[in-house]
Structure formats: structure tokens, C-alpha cells
Chains A and B, each alone.
Chain A
């Protein structure tokens, strides 16, 4: 790979721009494709370009054949995102675990005592109200949202935004009883039963988790299952 193209790829990644590095497996020549641009060693006809961009959209790297030519399309999408509402003890275990799994993590909590950089080293901490924060961060189809505060004042507004977003996973901490009350409140606030049914609550896989770290494992496992089960 030419150093200049490598640098362009790194710049795309730094700017969270979806991109694909396309390698002509016959000649070794390469070009970088983004939703807006194409640059590099070889031009692409419309058909190939469309196939490459479809693969960016589908987040699917692989070999594309066109006539006798074979191209490897390597998709580099921005990382998946996880928004954790509640800078609580479980969040302190879940945030680094999710980062290790490849997620860009943001912990949201307007309570100053909880949302400190000291409690979440290396993790983005957001001190806005959860609904304001999520409205600004705009969860998309590559985002997961987990509420952990137990406090309806904080969890409910977050869920109202998350459940109306394309987020692929929404989870809410709380026992079955707590969850039943939450469902009643959300229904009163105008969410449909169908929207409410998208909440994973009680959150996490049922593995008998007790400690905050174990609960974080069960949540991360559930997010992974939702993300991966329907693919490949």
C-alpha cells in the first residue's frame, strides 16, 4: 500500500468517515472509496463503485469479481457505539469491557459526583441530561444504549429517545418488577407496545450474575448476541 493512501485511510478513520480500501488482486493497485469520494491508483466504473459502496453500507468486506478481475474490498467503518446512561458501579466495569470489544463508549450522567474522568479513565463522559445527550449523539443502527441508573428521572427520558432511534440494542437495568413499572410509565408517555417490546429488560443474559463486573459480562454478551446472531 502506498503510504499516501494509508494516511488517507487513517484520516478517514480519524474523521469517522466510512471507507473501503479496494485492492486489485491482479495488479496490487489500490484505491480508497468513501460515500463521497474515490482516490488512488485506479479508477472504477460505476458498477464496481456501486458494489463497493453497497459493501460499505452492509459493513461487509470481501472479494468482488468483475469479468476476469478480482478486487478485495476492505470496509473500514467507524466503530460501533455504546451509550451507557448512569455512571454507576456496573458502568465502571461495562465501559472498559465494551471498549475492549471495539465499541466507542460514552457514559452519560448529569450527576457530577458520578460522572468523573477519574472514575472512567480513557472513556468519554457526558454530563448532560440523558435525553439531551442522546438527542445530540443521535444513536444510529450501529449504536447500543443501556440505562443503569435505576432512577426513572434519568432512565425514562433516555429510553424515550433510544426506542425511537434506529439503535440495534436498547437495554434497561432493573428487576422484572421494576421493569413492569417502567413499561407502565413508558406507555403513559406514549410509547407503543411494539416500541416497548424492544427493551431488553431485565438487562443482560440470564447467567446468574451478581457482582457489577459479572452483570457487565451478561450485558456485553447480550449486546454481542443481538449484533452477531443475524449475520453470516
Chain B
């Protein structure tokens, strides 16, 4: 299901259909973040997603950033957490912090 195998397989299947795909990967965590380092999510240009990088708190924001990456081709490092300035919008309810690396497969 949510194993990284399946996310990459899903990404491969999407690309075989001609869809552009970005990958978002948890690269570091502090405190009680819900998904471990290495957790992945695939996002396409239309905003379809597979997998997860948190317990559902930040996936919406990650999808938006991934779509930007699909447009400009630039990888992005995203930080989320209670001390983050974005906390009011997409903070982690659990109080942890997480860094997510977003890149396009091109």
C-alpha cells in the first residue's frame, strides 16, 4: 500500500501514461513527526497524489509546491513545523517538524 515501492511503481505507471510526475520525500524529521525519513509521495500536474509525507496535515501544501516544481523544473526543500511561519496554515498538529524534498522526474 503505502510502501515506497508502491509509490515509485505508481509514479512509473503515471509516466507510462504520459503524465508528468514529481516526487516528494521526507528527508529529515524532529520530534513526533508522523512519517519516517524516506516516506514518499508522487504528485502529477493535475494534483493527483499517491502516498504520504505526514498524517495528512501537509499533503495539500506539498501538492501545490510539487505542481510548481513540475512547471519550472526546480527542486524545492520544504520545511513544516509548529515554529514555521506557515504554521497557521499547514502546521503539524502533532508538534513535530519535517523537511520534504520535492523534485520532478524528467
Contact = CB atoms under 8 A, between A and B. Distances in A.
Interface in A199-219: none
Contacts of B77: 25
Interface in A35-89: 61-63, 72, 74-76, 79
A222 to B, nearest CB: 20
Interface stretch (A5-13, A136-144, A150-158): A5-13
Given A28-B75, A100-B1, A62 B103 contact: no
Interface residues of B, number: 23
A9 to B, nearest CB: 7
Interface residues on A, range: 20 to 34
A2 interface: yes
Contact of A1 (B27, B36, B37, B103): B103
Given A10-B8, A25-B77, A74 B38 contact: yes
A62 B105 contact: no
Secondary structure type dominating chain A contacts = mixed
Contacts of A2: 105-106
B23 interface: yes
A22 to B, nearest CB: 12
A167 B27 CA distance: 29
B101 A25 contact: yes
B4 interface: yes
B95 to A, nearest CB: 17
A193 to B, nearest CB: 37
A63 B28 contact: yes
A74 B3 contact: no
B105 A13 contact: no
Interface of B: 1, 3-5, 8-9, 11-12, 15, 23, 25, 27-28, 36-38, 75, 77, 101, 103-106
Which 3 pairs between the two chains have the least Cβ-Cβ distance? A61-B38, A102-B3, A72-B27
18 contacts: A1-B105, A1-B106, A6-B11, A6-B105, A9-B8, A10-B9, A13-B8, A25-B77, A25-B101, A61-B37, A62-B28, A62-B37, A63-B27, A63-B28, A72-B25, A74-B25, A79-B3, A102-B3
